[in-house]
Structure 1
């Protein structure tokens, strides 16, 4: 948080924390993989990207929360509605992406000898849907906590960390799939369908 938080309803942070619990459950279940990943190639540099992304969430989430906004006020209801939509988007896109990735999913950038190039599900629309979803979570956190000014630092940190991660992921995918990946990258944008 930079300077003072904007007043929010107590409902927004409560929903954000409930959503965080749901997301962590999804992440735990996503992390369960079969043993015996022979021929796996990992990119330890993507860990640096993860750390920088986490700093973005700290920049937006840290600080006091002014919960003086009346829960029944129009501003509070709108705030809660947007937070719910952003959390639902994040969890929905993450779940659909994990389902499409199957055994290919990993927190740290990696490929295996039997890795498959996933171009269906959310990956038919954007190459990195999980990062788009996590950006929505960053916005939900700013709104729920009233830490909009934290986005001044949070957004650049998030995109630096994300850029580091995608460069590593794309390097591994190009090494594994060559022109097939290049053709996919030429027709599918990274984050927003048809735009970015």
Structure 2
């Protein structure tokens, strides 16, 4: 079990991450008291620890549902989440049981990391490190989105994407690896700045 000092260090890291990621954050106290995305991650850490302990799966699920009620963010306690995840706004985010999220990932509101299978298998996405997923984007199935990728707002990702991808559209296509330059505003490659999709 993590020491009290280690837990406090991780909580401080989450608060620092929120301050770095959100220009609207005015103080650490504001983040601790009023950031549901941060609260959801904290609840998940406890629920995930319980999920892995013998005989505590039901309490873990109940805690995750309580967190959903309080924050609007649903994270299955079986999901594996790396360090410094920041969920901005949070409302409507759903992270499935077999999802794996790397370090320094940012999710905006309405993101779904969902499954397509009803079998007991790896059925949810894997996100590499430093991935940003825009508002209302959906990533379905056991796909992998490589590190340093951006998923545009409203995109639906159903295929693996290599590191450094910029994924937009339904179904999502990768603008970063399509080759060639943008020749006009009608060329999708023109819109390479992921910020315009977030």
TM-score (norm. length: structure 1): 0.29
Structure 1 or 2: more helix by fraction:
1
Which of structures 1 and 2 has the bigger CA Rg? 1
